[in-house]
Structure 1
């Protein structure tokens, strides 16, 4: 039984907004099994009736039966002193609207949406389709790509997107080591399973309708996030694949003249030494190997100045809920991987 009834005063009392969706549900399960956190509330949109979590996700019957309640902003005042951190698995505009209310009540926010990822508010109308109403919070939020996290984590944490996580983890070791040719524009092709589109039914993401197709040419909202992370322009083309969960990203770069395979290998090993959730593998990754895990698997192949890096993650875990938990663990001084492995002590 995944327990939400943990009574120790040292536990971090937590709620999930958006617990009916895929990423929010993963978070609820992770929090319930994290020995350092207590899940004290789970919420869905205001129009829904209250129902047990296990009614939404029957595989958790007799494991996690917390009630998922409809959320209204009027509930915020009643959380003061009862909740330390709120995880938001909400649409971007909804996250942006509720975050100031939670912060004002002394509640930390770990946001899984794109509401606070981009530092330039002017990019939101172009890539997210709305005008950012709280640009002051963009400067306050810290972007938590955890393997490259150097700043102390504040009260507002912005969790990276799924595509940017896979792509950035693949390319940052090379860029930070100065191995990529000046002027090189990385070319990234990445394929996601249908769960990346969320749980709400739509014809174009129906499993019976999806084959394999590219979309979002040059205008996908994750492109400026990847460029912000890498510090350079990219050509990013996402694809939708006929599988449930996972992302496979193939990134191609031109190296500086004379860069050796030994230098490339050293860059990856130095970057991820002691990073428990990145696995450098000797074969091209498979989404089947990371589905249901918090890992990012990375492999590379070099031919002269050309380098191909392949990375694979579970879009709902390393690309969302697991990275949110990883950040919250660090924020509250807990073991980084607490709660991320069912029945296995990796802390």
Structure 2
């Protein structure tokens, strides 16, 4: 059994991590932690997330000195926390030899200068930043297997990269024409601490953080080409739908595209590609899959990608990385 700790367990992603890890046959959850100022500290997780009543009755403990005692009992930790919190906590666990799965943006990009511009803080753990492994399982499986610090990709970055990487890898697109990405997320991506502007009753459909979203440099860094990325907030609770428009190189035909996606994903159990038609949100909600479809017309391709932002965009992707890291079946506890 692998003993694990979840920090930030009361949030939407933390709750999903707790659920999937609780039913993982090779995992023992040692403790659940929240920030010491959290209004959920001291409550059972079933009091905060009623779906767990009579199923998961673990207490949400506040981060304190007692956590240092628990550290000696664990093999792995999941940080479902803000990037500032992860930046502080991750090195503490790493120095104890614990495997860290960080779901924040604190260690996703090796270039520390990005953090000043997009995250508005100075990164103080450059050596760990250089050692971190980007946790996109379908494309980084081998490196995940030997990593101590695994940075789980952002929800938008996951969808966009899974949609684009096959045709980028096989050099099918004309990179002189920058891919245009429009992606819409449900309000759960902002977290449980809602404000008036993020309340479902107030949200219609609008773009935000144009040219400044933190997933933009993440996408570019790991995709290797520039993109124009515009995120949108929709008035629904969960899920992401991304529409990606690219120009193909001269001579590229539909079969070339089909072959690229088949080679990339035919043996990847959590990627579902469409031979015809395009995916919709309802096909992936509350599921650990990423669905990909595309339409080609002359020199243009439009790719449509859907995922549950809390699952394939966060929690289940982290557990997928966990399974790979500890040599368990990749979909253990994710697919029944």
- Scaled by the length of structure 1, what TM-score is found? 0.94
Specify every segment of 5 or more residues in structure 2 that has no aligned partner in the other structure, as ranges: none
CA distance in 2 between partners of 1:255 and 1:263 (Å): 11
Give the aligned partner of residue 28 of structure 2. Answer: 38
1:199 is the counterpart of 2:189: no
1:178 matches 2:171 = yes
Which residue matches 2:95?
104
Query: Which of the residues 299, 307, 311 maps onto 1:317?
Result: 311
Shift of 1:246: 0.3
- Residue in structure 2 matched with residue 7 of structure 1 by the alignment: none
Q: Report the counterpart of residue 49 of structure 2 in structure 1.
A: 57
State the partner residue of 2:288.
294
C-alpha distance in structure 2 between counterparts of 1:249 and 1:75, whole Å = 43
Superposed CA RMSD:
1.0
2:262 corresponds to 1:272: no
Which residue number corresponds to residue 6 of structure 1? none
Against the structure 1 CA distance between its residues 245 and 56, is the aligned structure 2 distance closer, same or farther, given a 3 Å change threshold?
same
Establish whether residue 259 from structure 1 lines up as the match of residue 252 from structure 2.
yes
Contact between 1:181 and 1:255, CA under 8 Å: does it hold in 2? yes
Residue 336 of structure 1 corresponds to 330
Equivalent residue number for residue 88 of structure 1: 79
- Matched residue, 1:77: 68
User: Secondary structure at the residue paired with 2:313?
Assistant: helix
Q: Tell me the CA shift for residue 75 of structure 1.
A: 3.1
CA drift at 1:80 = 4.1
Q: In structure 1, how many angstroms separate the alpha carbons of the residues matched to 2:37 and 2:72? A: 27
Deviation at 1:36, TM superposition (A): 1.2
- The answer to whether the 8 A contact 1:80-1:106 is kept is no
Q: 2: distance between equivalents of 1:220 and 1:182?
A: 22
Q: CA offsets per residue over residues 83-111 of structure 1, 9 Å max, x none?
A: 00000000001001011111122221100
Shift of 1:171: 0.3
Structure 2 CA distance for aligned equivalents of residues 266 and 223 of structure 1:
28
Separation of aligned partners in 1, 2:146 and 2:246: 31
The match for 1:230 among 202, 223, 226 is: 223
Tell me by how many angstroms 1:136 deviates: 1.3
Please give the TM-score of this superposition, normalised by the length of structure 2: 0.97
Where does residue 141 of structure 1 map in the other structure?
A: 132
Q: 2:115 aligns with which of 99, 108, 124?
A: 124
Q: Which runs of 5 or more residues in structure 1 are unaligned?
A: 1-10
Deviation string, structure 1 residues 206-253 (Cα, Å, up to 9, x no partner)? 011011000111111000001012101110000000111000000011
Aligned residue in 2 for 1:306: 300
Q: Is the 8 A contact 1:18 1:89 kept in 2?
A: yes
Mapped partners of 1:320, 1:75: distance in 2: 28
Contact 2:175 2:225 in 1 (8 A): no
Q: What is the total number of aligned residue pairs between the two structures?
A: 331
Deviates more, 1:240-249 or 1:40-49: 40-49
- Residue deviations 1:263-296 (CA, integer Å, cap 9, x gap): 0000001000110000012322111110100000
Superposition map of 1:239-250 within 5 A: 239-250=232-243
1:184 shift after superposition = 2.6
Counterparts of 1:324 and 1:331 in 2: how far apart (Å)? 10
SS at match of 1:324: helix
Task: Call closer, same or farther: CA 1:321–1:16 in 2, change over 3 Å.
Answer: same
